[in-house]
Amino acid sequence: MIFYLGTHHATQRWFDLAVPLFVSRRVLAARKTLPETLPSLTDWALDSGGFTELSLYGEWRTSVYQYVSDVWRFAQMGCLAWVAPQDWMCEPFMLQKTGLTVPDHQERTVRNFLDLRQLLGSLVIPVLQGWELDDYRRCWEMYAKAGVDLEKEALVGLGSVCRRQNTSEAGTIVRSLAPLKLHYFGAKLTGLESFGDALASADSMAWSVDARWRAAHGEPPPRGCTHKSCANCPRYAIRWRQLALARFDQLRLEVA
């Protein structure tokens, strides 16, 4: 499993960590000067920033052509592995924000993917959206009816699941979508420990939440850090990632 480290910053310091990064389009779009990557370093992936955009406006205000223009600009950095489409999340509070239904969001997600696939090729991955298990199966069927065989895709994103990892529901959804090569958006350690073996890749910013919690409870920062909170600290992020992967590898050994 490829584990992308999520970051809400896009400075050169983060790309110099030389680990897979997951970066929001909204963060990079605000920068006049982009970081540099080298072929010897690792890949990174682009999040569309859809959760923020839909939360703010209840709709996508970034056009397909603006999104594509941004992607080609970012691709000049090198090492861009894939980009997420401008998908529509299906959490109940998001439906209240948009005033639409789960099928509406799914149709818009599939339609946007088709538009972006024509303009970006295989760089853009399809994303399954839904809320209940049957929703995700219906979304899979929508792609099939549009001529997209998800089983042949190198990677398929799984959306609207990050807030359910403390329940068995998320694991049931993940395992029911085999044999798709799934990317899990917004993974937490509980999720990785439960169903990480069924994923092709995942991204996480749980390290930042963890650092913020520790600071709020009076825990001192790790050795070498001078700030009160490590919620934006690359040193803390890379250490958290190493510990998370070590824990994940240990669990796989125990299961085996």
Structure-block tokens of residue 27: 């963060």
Task: State how far the Cα of 85 lies from the Cα of 124, in Å rounded to an integer.
Answer: 6
Domain regions of the chain by residue span: 2-204, 207-256
For the stretch 107-152, pLDDT in tens is 999 999 999 999 999 999 999 999 999 999 999 999 999 999 999 9
The Cα-based distances of 203 to 173, 221, 241 in angstroms read 17, 24, 11
Q: Which residues pair with 182 in a beta bridge?
A: 156
The mean per-residue pLDDT over the stretch 220-229 comes to: 80
Ordered strands of the 80-83 beta sheet: 80-83, 44-47, 21-24, 2-7, 201-204, 182-184, 156-158, 127-128
pLDDT one-digit tens code per residue, 159-174 = 999 877 666 888 999 9
**CA–CA distance, 55 with 219 (Å, rounded to integer):** 32
- 46: nearest Cα among 185, 206, 234: 185
Residue 32 pLDDT > 80: yes
Fold held by 2-204: TIM Barrel (3.20.20)
Q: Please name which of 187, 237, 230 lies closest in space to residue 2, comparing C-alpha atoms.
A: 187
